[in-house]
Amino acid sequence: MIHLVIVAFLVVASTIGVGLFLTNYPLLPLQASEQAVNIDGLFDIHWWFIAFFFSLITVFVVYSVIVFRRKPGERGDGVYMHGNTRLEIVWTIVPIAIVLWLAVIGADSLATVERRDPEAITVDVFAAQWNWRFQYSVEVEGGTVAAVVSDTLVLPKNQQVLLRLHSDDVIHSFYVPEFRVKQDVLPGGEEFTRELRITPNLEGTFKVRCAEICGQLHWDMQAEIQVVDRSEFLSWLQEQAGDCELSPEECGQRWATQFGCLACHSLDGTVVIGPSWQGLYGSSEELSDGSTITVDDAYLHESIVDPNAKIVQGFSAGVMPQTFAGILTEEQIQQIIAFIASLQ
């Protein structure tokens, strides 16, 4: 009987020690959304179960090795025990009860994470190899609705955001560790659009990462997330909704950044996925069919709206998204061309 008391005490003490370590040591990233609070609560329950079963097994094994080991001079075999129906019933029923209870609280946690707020703001998220862009709809003067496109996801604190996820090419995955939620982003049009709800509760700067291997630059497919005060968020939206009042070259740089062009085209001569834009305008390029072409406005315009029409030698077709003709306005295309022409 004394052995059972000692073992029980050691199991309880070990469970408390290991449990407190697991639930207080920063094993998980910073918590930055209401969904993360709920999910981390579920994590804590699992950590305590892990602590208990780890302690139960480890204490029994270590205690038995130390206390019941064969002493010097002892002979003979140990006591043989065969079966224990009562114990077998207990260790069958108890795990089933635990699994069912975890299923219930897991379902409740999922319902809380996916709770729909009728006042949630909507952001369309577009993933493409290898960049993210985020589109907002905002009402401007005169009651018209303008589309705001950004390469940074700006979110208001303490307001639910509905992210509608679209892919321009292959399967990607939207993942922000601090928010604790993740959703695959599928190609195929509106039918395959997926939704993800987030309620940021901490101001700061975070990163969205692609969590699905999607090609050569998958490792670098990241975008910045800024969680700001609601008033600051509304001011940013109104500012972005206005016309670009910069020079054509500066506006072109803005669009090239927002629409992910610079993920594949460098500005310093480095070859990434596509030709570098530095010194490109006015140069002569050899195409995959052996012909040569001078890079001018017409060629660049065609390369943006129909990227597979002419492929430069050494590069592959089908890599650049073929959706820019429907995304960019003619003015934006001309401004991007002006920006490329300025990189001499």
CA–CA distance, 54 with 62 (Å, rounded to integer): 12
Check the CA dihedral 98-101-105-110 and report its sign: positive
Q: Which residues contact 326 (CB under 8 A, 6 or more apart)?
A: none
Count CB neighbours of 122 within 10 A: 12
What is the Cα–Cα distance from 92 to 96, expressed in whole angstroms?
7
Distance CA 321, CA 172 (A): 14
Is the backbone of residue 188 left (phi > 0), alpha (psi -120 to 50) or beta?
Answer: left
Ordered per-residue pLDDT tens for the chain, 344 residues? 788 888 889 999 999 999 999 888 777 888 899 999 999 889 899 999 999 999 999 998 998 888 887 777 777 676 777 778 888 898 899 989 999 999 999 999 888 888 998 888 889 998 988 889 888 876 655 554 556 778 889 999 999 999 999 998 899 999 999 999 999 999 988 889 999 999 999 999 999 999 999 888 899 899 999 999 988 888 888 777 666 667 878 788 877 877 777 777 878 877 777 788 888 878 887 888 778 888 888 888 888 888 888 788 877 777 777 777 777 778 888 888 888 888 77
Residue 324: count other Cβ atoms within 10 Å of its Cβ. Answer: 20
Asked if 161 contacts 198 with a C-beta cutoff of 8 angstroms, the reply is yes
Q: Which residues pair with 215 in a beta bridge?
A: none
Q: By C-alpha distance, which of 208, 311, 220, 224 is closest to 272?
A: 220
Determine the pLDDT at residue 47: 92
Quick check: 40 and 109 in contact, CB under 8 A? no
Task: Give the tokens for residue 67.
Answer: 């206390």
pTM: 0.69
User: pLDDT at position 164, please?
Assistant: 93
**Bridge partners (DSSP) listed for residue 304:** none
Antiparallel, parallel or unpaired: β 222-228 and 204-210:
antiparallel
Q: In the prediction, which pLDDT does 256 show?
A: 80
What value, to the nearest 5°, has the Cα angle with vertex 28 and ends 26 and 31? 100
Neighbouring CB atoms inside 10 A of 215's CB total 14
Tokens representing 28 are 């998980």
